Structure 1
């Protein structure tokens, strides 16, 4: 390593060039948000859905525009302007279809064929009361195109599948401009394009805010610890260079930044700070004792360099444990974070160490000798552990039991609205549609015929109707539509448009007559519900965002109904859609989390076994790192925070970082023992020489993750709080429990 440092100027120049190149690459960074990022990869339901949408398209390719009017929407000027916007929306970019209640008609069978009756007679205000009464009787458009109080109308736009961020902003710009020209100020949006725009804007804001806040925090910590401008400047340069290079790597690899990207600045800055402080603290201590720079660096790399390498590797392993997640967003975050941690280590070891060896030590050392307050207080903690081992062990046991009790209270009752920025436009609009319409969450039922049966068979239609009526019996499910809607509509049209006749015809003969008329007069709309071979169909609906646990009970009830109350020899029914996949991913969170952490723990145990070559030390090292994980789980349970894909990263962060202090503590203890010191002397040396760095780095981590409390993203705030308090608990366990275990077991 020292041979490399003979080329210290070359190393510094190389990293500076690398940083400049990374700076240019930042302009190519891409942001994305797509609910498909949270779909469970490799799941059979995902494979079914991907095949299903080949016939019917995705179920989230819509944008709903609700316009409110105080009092009532039944005003001529308002209805005419809203109708004109509906007509104009055909020309909005990426819109394939549009619909509003002002453009729809009731079909009515007359002597000369079918005629159309407008649902709302816009040009005749004397019929408004009659129109509204009819709408209420039919209950076809309530909570879908008009709310139950008639104070708002909805323009439903169908968009091209999978439009991206740029396309979303183009569409939304066109919508907003048209609404402003009409003088409509009070409107609400809901749909994929709106989510895309709002959540990516949130990601950009979070990335900037967390970077600035973390930077200010690191500056403050370094100033309070070292009070030397040269050291602060050197440390910040190394840390920011690591972050810059990491972001450049992501850009070069074309990796898109997801909603979890806001954690990258915090992780890189805080983890980088931890590496810098451990190396800086040891190096400054040695040159302060009169050791020459080259010899001091050699001893620093020997004493803490290997430990720092191991902590970086174990932290990377902690994040890599997320690769077991079936969510591409979470697994991608784990892989990227692992790369970032290793990038920070390489930058700190080479760039920082090279700079330290160039700078004259008079610019690094404080003008006044540090007081012995740190050492005396740390040694008093050591004395406390020696004096009260039993209370510490008992307290740790009680703490563990407390954590397990909380862990048993963990729930998965996650709601989509928790993903939105707090008190934002998108959160308010989402709540508006929750309260007044059918919400956002799509729920589809795939209908697949068996044998020679077809969707257009009368007995198959009867089976479909059973499911439709069952779905309508759930208050959480709204706006249920199926192919039967067409047959019921024509049946109603043939009976003077009376609402009581909006049912399936009683005879097969009538049904087949309507079937022919549907295919003749409504072929395009019919094709949205039935495939060309008439072997597949869909039942569409929306489900209110009432929480995963509540929705799961609905799913279970429906699946039981499919099994016991429908004729599977004729037709099969299967729940599908983006909502189902998002919900199913939540069920995988706990399983993948446990598997990933067990795998990570095994790898870390293997590394520690190679480092310590002592089975007892290995066992000692694991216990203080299991308890923080249980603590994080216990907090989730006691605080009633639902466990979902985003929150699951807490455990990877805690596992990856908490073990760092243990490795530094035991690593220094082992070096002291190898140098011939007895157990008590080795513990004193460990506390006095490593304890300060442990406390400083943990406090840096604590306040660093507390920065997330300024986030507008609720899950990020939760993660910041959980990680901060859990890492603080991990430090306490290392300083109190580790010495007791060493004395008891070694």
Structure 2
């Protein structure tokens, strides 16, 4: 072996013997490190604000915050009441709506409640303008009164499709909240009261279904889903890993040691997150599952080598030292490349992925440390039997047979695997971006079920436009109001728009009111002063909490138009945004033009923005990993060659995803970086053993490949199975972004196994008849090649 490898392995042997001699000190230090760093986990809190998914530099977030600083915030609960029999304007249903409206004011941080009962209906009484609740005391009203009010509501553009379904079978109560944002329990506190109100009404009015959706329920669903995953998936993962390790090692002692390594690694990762102030989300809560899954790899390689060496007759201490020596470089390279892959998540446009990447990187680094320290320290003082068994013999024979198969059929395999991979990759252009935040949760989550039910009657995706006027008071200009009216008509003509809210509709109603409710006057006033007087008179008549501050800014130099979409697929939404901008360019003066903004706009663009950013991150990750491979293996050729089996699994996984699913959300953009750091592990271990066979044992390329399969093939399969189990658990998450991440990574891992076992050996044997220029580059000074 060359000086470099001899130096590294000599140092690894010295380290292992030092740890074994000072095992109690090593064990105490390891535990103390976990206790000190892990104590930070007590500071962890769940985020209850969907804005955490967007970086402060995100332009869509900045635009939305500007809107909310101008008008009232739109954190809300949307209660939807669906009648099982009868109609909304039956006395019993109206009584429920009235009670819900009154009780909703008592929800913590509520600043506004809108319903069909307290809608501010205006009409003329002589020369006076009367503004009052559309319906009051419904139980005392005659049927004729209720029917007339129903007709008014159905004709009112601010109610129909917004708080009243066109079929009259469902109505909504919208509660706007203003959180002080000083504590993490504000949203859960409000949600708890909202659910109490919902449950009480459902009990008192059994003939109706009550659903709650809205931004506050979305925020709460993120926290609840993260906690649910933590309470269910993490224990499942612990159990599966313990079972898998026991089945491989057939040793309770060995299983407990590995369990200790992964547990301490996870504790350190979570403690780190607490100390630096990470807010937990469903995405960052997947870090413990990923750490549990990945942390086991180093231990498995060391222990399988240790078990094999003891079966060959080595004593326990020498076997431990040798196992650390031969695995030190591969586990160090794989840990480093995995860390690099996860650190590339910092290029994401979504902070939870930064947190996931950094937490996992810390966990992987901790697993490397604990594997090299705790395994020699603990096994040196514990009894462990590594008696030969038939399963081990069968596994060794099978790997030898498989190696012979691959060597004998290398050319057909090279062609078949290359063509198959190319075919999968060809489907990637068919992938479409599509994100809908309601569908981030599966049907087991209450928010998803309630939102799906509410969406049968009302749109859930508001798109906001803050439209400037020509200076203070300019919203009363007839030209401005006419332009608003034209834009509202355009929006209502769009297929995906279910409702439009514009002050132009209020001004037309007021103009009709002030002309004795004559229908001919349902139009925009032609005089600015007249419009301003109507608006002032109307505002003075509105009760507290139902003013127009959510529609008009303070100096009346801008107003807000809201278009509510009944669906918000990414492509449809983007086409809608382009259409609105084109319409404004053609029909509005430049000073009025407004960009669309809202949470829906933010989620629409996050997938593309995340994908664009992660292309840079993944490219840098590939370059960094290639350099690490070249330097660590002391081979430019093998480092370059490793890019093929390391990058193709990810591309193949995206192609398979195009066939299986066809759509990607913003979570899938991070898969390439995550998978890159994981799939390289198999390649590193295979190439490390191949080089050991060439350099240390003087084997031919064919025999070196056989040696690699026999010495590390079983461990690679075991790790692939365990990784697959881990990401299969993540795939079962109730949070779609985690489920997509789990399934995509699962595909990448298994494609990596196929390519490393079938394609990589064929690439290494491309020039089997004579010396390979690749091998000549890979052999360092003093090495010779044996054919």
Normalised TM-score (structure 1): 0.93
Tell me if the contact between 1:478 and 1:542 (Cα under 8 Å) persists in the aligned partners: yes
Tell me if the contact between 1:664 and 1:690 (Cα under 8 Å) persists in the aligned partners: yes
Give 1:26 deviation, angstroms.
4.2
Partner of 1:169: 188
Tell me if the contact between 1:75 and 1:125 (Cα under 8 Å) persists in the aligned partners: no
Partner of 1:409: 430
Partner of 2:76: 62
Confirm or deny that 1:10 pairs with 2:12.
Answer: no
Partner of 2:350: 327
Structure 1: gaps of 5 or more residues: none
- Cα 1:496–1:347 shift into 2, 3 Å: farther
- Cα 1:533–1:453 shift into 2, 3 Å: closer
Q: 1:345 aligns with which of 334, 352, 368?
A: 368
How far apart are the structure 2 equivalents of 1:181 and 1:423?
22
Confirm or deny that 1:114 pairs with 2:132.
Answer: no
- Cα 1:500–1:479 shift into 2, 3 Å: farther
Structure 2: gaps of 5 or more residues: 1-14, 767-773, 776-787
Q: 2:147 aligns with which of 98, 112, 129?
A: 129
RMSD of the TM alignment (CA)?
2.5
How far apart are the structure 2 equivalents of 1:247 and 1:93?
32
Tell me if the contact between 1:706 and 1:721 (Cα under 8 Å) persists in the aligned partners: yes
Per-residue CA deviation, residues 452-497 of structure 1 (Å, 9 max, x unaligned), is: 8933322222222222221111132233222323312311212444
Tell me if the contact between 2:621 and 2:673 (Cα under 8 Å) persists in the aligned partners: no
Tell me if the contact between 2:165 and 2:457 (Cα under 8 Å) persists in the aligned partners: yes
Partner of 1:148: 166
How far apart are the structure 1 equivalents of 2:603 and 2:199?
35
Which has the higher mean CA deviation after the structures are superposed, 317-326 or 635-644?
635-644
Partner of 1:563: 585
Give 1:4 deviation, angstroms.
4.3
Q: 1:548 aligns with which of 570, 574, 582?
A: 570
- Cα 1:578–1:715 shift into 2, 3 Å: closer
Q: Say how many residue pairs are matched.
A: 741
Confirm or deny that 1:632 pairs with 2:653.
Answer: yes
Give 1:616 deviation, angstroms.
1.7
Confirm or deny that 1:459 pairs with 2:479.
Answer: yes
- Cα 1:714–1:53 shift into 2, 3 Å: closer
Confirm or deny that 1:48 pairs with 2:80.
Answer: no
Partner of 2:401: 380
- Cα 1:451–1:488 shift into 2, 3 Å: closer
Partner of 2:451: 430
Secondary structure, in 3 states, of the residue corresponding to 1:455? helix
Give 1:304 deviation, angstroms.
1.0
- Cα 1:641–1:630 shift into 2, 3 Å: same
Partner of 2:377: 354
How far apart are the structure 2 equivalents of 1:455 and 1:509?
11
Q: 1:306 aligns with which of 329, 334, 339?
A: 329
Tell me if the contact between 2:608 and 2:666 (Cα under 8 Å) persists in the aligned partners: no
Confirm or deny that 1:592 pairs with 2:613.
Answer: yes
- Cα 1:425–1:615 shift into 2, 3 Å: same
Secondary structure, in 3 states, of the residue corresponding to 2:479? helix
Partner of 2:250: 227
How far apart are the structure 2 equivalents of 1:631 and 1:548?
24
Q: 1:98 aligns with which of 113, 116, 137?
A: 113
Give 1:247 deviation, angstroms.
1.9
Give 1:368 deviation, angstroms.
4.7
Partner of 1:616: 637
How far apart are the structure 1 equivalents of 2:627 and 2:431?
30
Tell me if the contact between 2:123 and 2:129 (Cα under 8 Å) persists in the aligned partners: yes
Partner of 1:251: 274
Give 1:688 deviation, angstroms.
1.0
Give 1:63 deviation, angstroms.
0.8
How far apart are the structure 2 equivalents of 1:517 and 1:216?
68
Tell me if the contact between 1:442 and 1:540 (Cα under 8 Å) persists in the aligned partners: yes
Secondary structure, in 3 states, of the residue corresponding to 1:259? coil
Confirm or deny that 1:157 pairs with 2:181.
Answer: no
Confirm or deny that 1:577 pairs with 2:598.
Answer: yes
Which has the higher mean CA deviation after the structures are superposed, 146-155 or 657-666?
146-155
- Cα 1:81–1:571 shift into 2, 3 Å: closer
Tell me if the contact between 2:284 and 2:355 (Cα under 8 Å) persists in the aligned partners: no
How far apart are the structure 1 equivalents of 2:112 and 2:313?
79
- Cα 1:500–1:422 shift into 2, 3 Å: farther
Secondary structure, in 3 states, of the residue corresponding to 1:574? coil
Secondary structure, in 3 states, of the residue corresponding to 1:542? strand
Secondary structure, in 3 states, of the residue corresponding to 2:468? strand
Confirm or deny that 1:478 pairs with 2:487.
Answer: no
Partner of 2:784: none
Confirm or deny that 1:707 pairs with 2:765.
Answer: no
- Cα 1:506–1:303 shift into 2, 3 Å: same
How far apart are the structure 1 equivalents of 2:553 and 2:132?
29
Give 1:54 deviation, angstroms.
1.8
Partner of 2:558: 536
Partner of 1:731: 753
Give 1:372 deviation, angstroms.
2.5
Secondary structure, in 3 states, of the residue corresponding to 2:668? coil
How far apart are the structure 1 equivalents of 2:157 and 2:64?
30
Which has the higher mean CA deviation after the structures are superposed, 371-380 or 163-172?
163-172
Tell me if the contact between 2:553 and 2:559 (Cα under 8 Å) persists in the aligned partners: yes
Give 1:308 deviation, angstroms.
0.5
Give 1:242 deviation, angstroms.
1.6
Secondary structure, in 3 states, of the residue corresponding to 2:426? helix
Tell me if the contact between 2:154 and 2:164 (Cα under 8 Å) persists in the aligned partners: no
- Cα 1:303–1:180 shift into 2, 3 Å: closer
Which has the higher mean CA deviation after the structures are superposed, 480-489 or 450-459?
450-459
How far apart are the structure 2 equivalents of 1:431 and 1:143?
16
